[in-house]
């Protein structure tokens, strides 16, 4: 028999497209995704352009301090996350700790990754009040959520032979970890932490708007006071910060990976 049918091809493509379109229209209806709203919103575009542009250049020097504070927040959270990710990763590795420890740690790490950072921030604000410390906790915890899992996976995949031979020389548990595991895991942990730094800079801008201070708070405040051109200035600052962080983290990661290869 001919294992091909033009009609089946046509039907398959049509059903796939129809299904997609149907689901999209249903979702769009639920989200009030109607052309009228779109038209009405787009009608405001010229007025927006006038209110948001040009940026309020005079406010440029007021942005430096919040930008630095956002950068410090993201950096501290990334460093803290990286430092704590190793012990947490140890506790999440099947070849290091017993199941009764690994399972809850893994579940916590999974929950950590599943919950949006803003939601986590809300809880930290309940405990520590508004301010950079709560923001740092939220970012550090979600960094641990990602890095801890990656470290745990890396340790589980690590070369067992190295560990066995170290144990055979009579090394203690901590020596095995220090000389057998750490060197194997550290390069990838550093690379992932650099990636996480990039993510954290972006997130710290967002968290700032909810109460972690920094440039995010500056944007939110300007919008709230209807000083839209000041908000544009702040956004411009955050764009530069994000772009710089992305570039630096990318460069460092590339150098790290090249070092690892040579």
Partner 1 sequence: MLVVDALTKTVPGGRRVLDGVSFSVGAGEFVGILGSSGAGKSLTLRAISGLTELDSGEVRFACEDGTMCCVTRARGKALRAARRQMGVIFQGLHLVKRMTVIENVMMGRLGFIHPLRSWLYGFTDAEAREALEALDQVSMKPLAGRITGSLSGGEMQRVAIARAIFQRPRLYLADEPIAALDPRNAEAILNLLQPLSRHNPVVSTFHQPELTRRFCTRVVGIREGRVVYDGSPELSRSELAGIYGIREAQAV
Partner 2 sequence: MMWPSQNARRMWATVATFAAFLGGFLAYLNVEPVAVLFQGQHLQNLFRDVFPPRLAVLWERSGLWWSVVETLAMAFAGTTLGLAFALPAGLAGAANTTPHGGLRAAVRFQLSLERALSSFFILMVLLIAFGLGPFAATVTLALGTLGGFGKLFAESLERVEAAPAEALAALGASRSQQICFAVLPQAAPALITGSLYAFDINLRAAIALGIFGAGGLGAELLLAYNTLRYHDVLALALVSLVLVTAVERVSDFLRQRI
Which of 62, 79, 97, 162 is the binder for partner 2 (CB under 8 A)?
Answer: 79
CB nearer partner 1, residue 3 or residue 43: 3
Which of 9, 40, 172, 175 is the binder for partner 2 (CB under 8 A)?
Answer: 40
CB nearer partner 1, residue 5 or residue 165: 5
CB nearer partner 1, residue 11 or residue 68: 11
CA angle 211, 215, 221 (to 5 degrees): 65
Which of 37, 58, 60, 94 is the binder for partner 2 (CB under 8 A)?
Answer: 37
| Least Å from the CB of residue 20 to partner 1 | 16
Assess 44 for contact with partner 1 (CB under 8 A). Answer: no
Question: Smallest Cα–Cα separation from 198: which of 239, 237, 242, 234?
Answer: 242
80/92 Cα distance (integer angstroms): 18
> How far is the CA of 227 from the CAs of 51, 157, 176, 238, in angstroms?
8, 53, 59, 17
For residues 142 and 204, is the Cβ–Cβ distance under 8 A? no
Q: Which residue's structure tokens are 């009228």?
A: 36
Question: Smallest Cα–Cα separation from 74: which of 208, 189, 235?
Answer: 208
The contact mask relative to partner 1 for 10-29 (x = CB under 8 A, - = no) is: x--x----------------
Query: What count of residues does the chain have?
Result: 262
Contacts with partner 2 by CB under 8 A lie at 20, 23-24, 26-28, 30-34, 37-38, 40-42, 44-45, 48, 52, 68-69, 72-73, 75-76, 79-80, 83, 110-111, 114-119, 122-123, 126-128, 131-133, 136, 202, 205-206, 209-210, 216, 219-220, 223, 231, 235, 238-239, 242-243, 246
């Amino acid at each position: 028999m001919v294992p091909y049918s033009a009609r089946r091809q046509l039907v398959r493509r049509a059903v796939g497209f129809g299904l997609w379109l149907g689901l999209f229209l249903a979702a769009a209806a639920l989200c009030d995704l109607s052309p009228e709203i779109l038209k009405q919103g787009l009608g405001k575009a010229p007025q927006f352009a006038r209110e948001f542009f040009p940026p309020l250049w005079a406010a440029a020097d007021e942005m430096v301090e919040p930008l630095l504070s956002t950068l410090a927040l993201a950096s501290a959270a990334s460093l803290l996350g990286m430092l704590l990710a190793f012990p947490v990763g140890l506790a999440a590795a099947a070849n290091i700790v017993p199941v009764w420890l690994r399972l809850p740690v893994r579940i916590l790490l999974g929950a950590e990754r599943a919950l949006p950072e803003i939601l986590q921030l809300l809880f930290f604000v309940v405990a520590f009040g508004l301010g950079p410390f709560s923001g740092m906790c939220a970012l550090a915890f979600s960094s641990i959520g990602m890095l801890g899992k990656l470290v745990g996976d890396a340790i589980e995949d690590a070369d067992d032979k190295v560990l066995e031979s170290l144990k055979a020389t009579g090394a203690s548990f901590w020596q095995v970890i220090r000389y057998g595991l750490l060197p194997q895991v550290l390069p990838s942990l550093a690379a992932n932490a650099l990636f996480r730094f990039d993510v954290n800079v972006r997130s710290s801008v967002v968290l700032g708007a909810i109460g972690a201070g920094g440039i995010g708070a500056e944007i939110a405040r300007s919008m709230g006071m209807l000083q839209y051109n000041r908000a544009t200035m702040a956004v411009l600052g955050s764009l530069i910060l994000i772009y710089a962080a992305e570039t630096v983290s990318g460069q460092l990661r590339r150098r790290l990976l090249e070092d690892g290869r040579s």
